[in-house]
A and B are shown apart, each in its own frame.
Chain A
Amino acid sequence: MIRQPAGAARPPIAAAHLRTDAWWVLPVTVVIVLGAFVVYSTWAALQNAHYFFAPYLSPFYSPCLSQSCLHLTFGVGLPDVSFPIVGVVSPAFLILWGPGLFRLTCYYYRKAYYRSFWLAPAACAVRDVKRAYTGETRFPLILQNFHRYAWYVAVVFIVLLTWDALLAFRFPNGFGIGVGTVVMWVNVILLAAYTFSCHSCRHVCGGHVDVFSRAPGRYRVWHVLSWLNERHPTYAWLSLFSVGLTDLYIRLVSMGIIRDLRIL
């Protein structure tokens, strides 16, 4: 046997990992939950129906921009886009790229899907499955560094969804509050918490400053956003569930499967 000099080679341990705990549970859970959301949201976007029940508009279809929209957000609509075989493209596809890009490039979701789908690594101290690895240095993953642009877009969506939530008080017979109104407000609050706890938001609004004592306003904003940022993963999951459940609630009410209860 050729003896290697001390400190020249790594420990001769062949196993890919030595962990004895159930490290695989978290990545599998993420695959199931994220996969289920992607399947549901795609299905809901393809339906092009049951996304509006006065005064509730599903977040998957807001803002509704096509002429054929059940509820036009800005009063006038863009011409419908139609393809052979596919037919009229659902208005959801005109806007879902915005929040979709924000979640896709989110620092937290990157951690989640790099571990669960890329298996790079599947869990800490578990060997990467793929031998080749370039991180975020090449196309397309280098584009993850543009996350802040997706955040700028996401902020616009928060404004629009807040407007929808305000309209959810305006019933055909006047002011009112229904279970749907509460559902829409919970959704917009969780989405706002997720959007404003974003790492890019924290940096752009104050984190870039080196001398905080010369920028007291931005220091205070950074301080609040840092508190929110610690809870970013929680808001990421809660807002994912809330946006899906809000669509589901409005869809079921619109289909007549459940009745929207009026609180006020």
Chain B
Amino acid sequence: MATVTMRVFRGDAGGGSFKDYRVEADEGMVVLDVIHRLQATQANDLACRWNCKAGKCGSCSAEVNGKPRLMCMTRMNLFREGEIISVAPIRAFPIIRDLVTNVAYNYEKAKAIPPLRLKPPEADGTYRMMQEDIDRIQEFHKCIECFLCQDVCHVIRDHEAHKKAFAGPRFFIKLAGLEMHPLDAADRTPFVRREAGIGLCNITKCCTEVCPEHIHITDNGIIPLKERMADSFDPIVRLLRRFRGMRKDGA
């Protein structure tokens, strides 16, 4: 057992500051364990959101030593002996209290996304998909909605004025999954460009770096979406597609 110094943000929208606590940490503990011990022994009123403690619910998002992380997936042995470990709420969203923020922005963005529009069924009235058709989009379905990608995205984090017209990385992979869906017939290109504001993303890949599910958000989601936007004004691609008789819902 070792004693660690935790520098935890305490406060709300009205004001707050970091407060140092000396906490006993056992071998094998994660940051969330230490926060729970702190809550149980020294700061009973510390607000902290958590659920599964297994990296699957996406509730315990925080900034540990300035890096957006899931507290339940951040092992204490990552830190040097004697290092002060800061724990702050995710800073891109409004604070409720201590480590808890209001992430409603994300739910509003989710509501705006045009849903799957099924193309007509096959002649026998059924739909068929092959494994290779959906392998690519299954990666996006691993998202646990921890919103760490949204928190670290500098467009949301540092440029408040753009939040209204910017969906953020979590919803770009949602849109990419729908756009690449083999049974989808909708064209979301205008939505992705205007309402989702993909042009604001400058692909600096922080969203990919912080994703606890290791989803290749930028390479497999955002960049393919940007390329699909470019398709609409690429005469060579348009000519090739006309030549092949390609449709949105087919190969």
Contacts and interface: CB of A to CB of B under 8 A. Distances in A.
B251 A215 contact: yes
B227 A148 contact: yes
B202 A136 contact: yes
A208 B199 contact: no
Contacts of A229: 219
Nearest to A6: B96
B67 A124 contact: yes
A2 B203 contact: no
Contacts of B226: 145
- The bracket for how many chain A residues form the interface is 35 or more
A142 B71 CA distance: 38
A133 B91 contact: no
A13 interface: yes
A130 B236 CA distance: 37
A111 B222 CA distance: 13
Contacts of B37: none
B77 interface: no
Q: Of B130, B154, B234, which is in contact with the most chain A CB atoms at under 10 Å from its CB?
A: B154
Contact of B133 (A128, A135, A213): A213
A110 B226 CA distance: 14
B138 interface: no
B228 A124 contact: no
Contacts, number: 193
B38 interface: no
Interface of A is mostly: loop
Given A8-B13, A120-B154, A213 B202 contact: no
A130 to B, nearest CB: 9
B159 A128 contact: yes
Interface in B110-160: 129-130, 132-133, 136, 151-152, 154-155, 157-159
A49 interface: no
A171 interface: no
A54 B226 CA distance: 44
B229 A145 contact: yes
6 contacts: A4-B14, A6-B97, A124-B67, A125-B67, A211-B250, A218-B251
Given A125-B66, A210-B181, 12 more contacts: A5-B13, A6-B12, A7-B96, A11-B88, A124-B67, A124-B68, A125-B63, A125-B151, A200-B227, A208-B227, A210-B179, A210-B180
Interface of B: 9, 11-16, 63, 65-68, 83, 86, 88-89, 91-97, 101-102, 104, 129-130, 132-133, 136, 151-152, 154-155, 157-159, 162, 179-182, 184, 197, 199-206, 209-210, 218-219, 223-224, 226-231, 234, 236-237, 248-251
